[in-house]
Amino acid sequence: MLAENHPDEIKAIFAKYPVKRSAVMPLLYLAQREEGYIQKESMQEIAAMLELDVTEVAAIVGFYTMYHDEKAGKYRMQVCNDLPCALRGADKFLEHLCENIGVKIGETTPDGLITIEEVKCLGGCDRAPLFQLQQGDKVTYHENMNIDKTMELVDALRKAQE
């Protein structure tokens, strides 16, 4: 379906990379742009285009926090909770955030607005607790957060939906 819907973009991507398999990440980005996540069929199509095993393509999707293989809320709130961040309170922050929003890690709010995810290393351990907020192509980073500031942001996101 990607090849049908985006032939010119795919051609342009392949023109940039002399080795076919090097185009995997731009092709995944293109696939994700359509639905907000990468469907299994798209992974299979990309694997076939690049002469890779589907498992290799799926491994890239699973490794990078900017790729998603499941549908989620309009916003993905990805909280870093690796060891350095946990030492600065990220685990407790994530626990309280889930309580305040009313979902568990990996779940989406009933209004479909926010999905809470835990991730490893956003590169700001000295500014934890921190999270990145993804909406489509846009990513914003929020550092030195606490529950009050985060809930203010959540309330602002909800008001913007009205």
Burial annotation 97-110 (CB, 10 A radius, 16+ → b, else e): bbeebebeeebbbe
Checking if the pLDDT of 137 tops 80, the result is: no
- Give the per-residue pLDDT at 51: 94
Whole-number average pLDDT of the chain: 93
Q: CA-CA distance, 109 to 103, in Å (whole number)?
A: 6
Q: Could you read off the pLDDT of 90-111 as tens digits, one per residue?
A: 999 999 999 999 999 999 999 9
CATH class of domain segment(s) 2-63: mainly alpha
Annotated domain spans of the chain: 2-63, 75-161
Answer yes or no: are the C-beta atoms of 50 and 27 closer than 8 Å: yes
d(CA 70, CA 84) in angstroms, rounded, equals: 28
Fold of 75-161: Glutaredoxin (3.40.30)
pTM exceeding 0.85: no
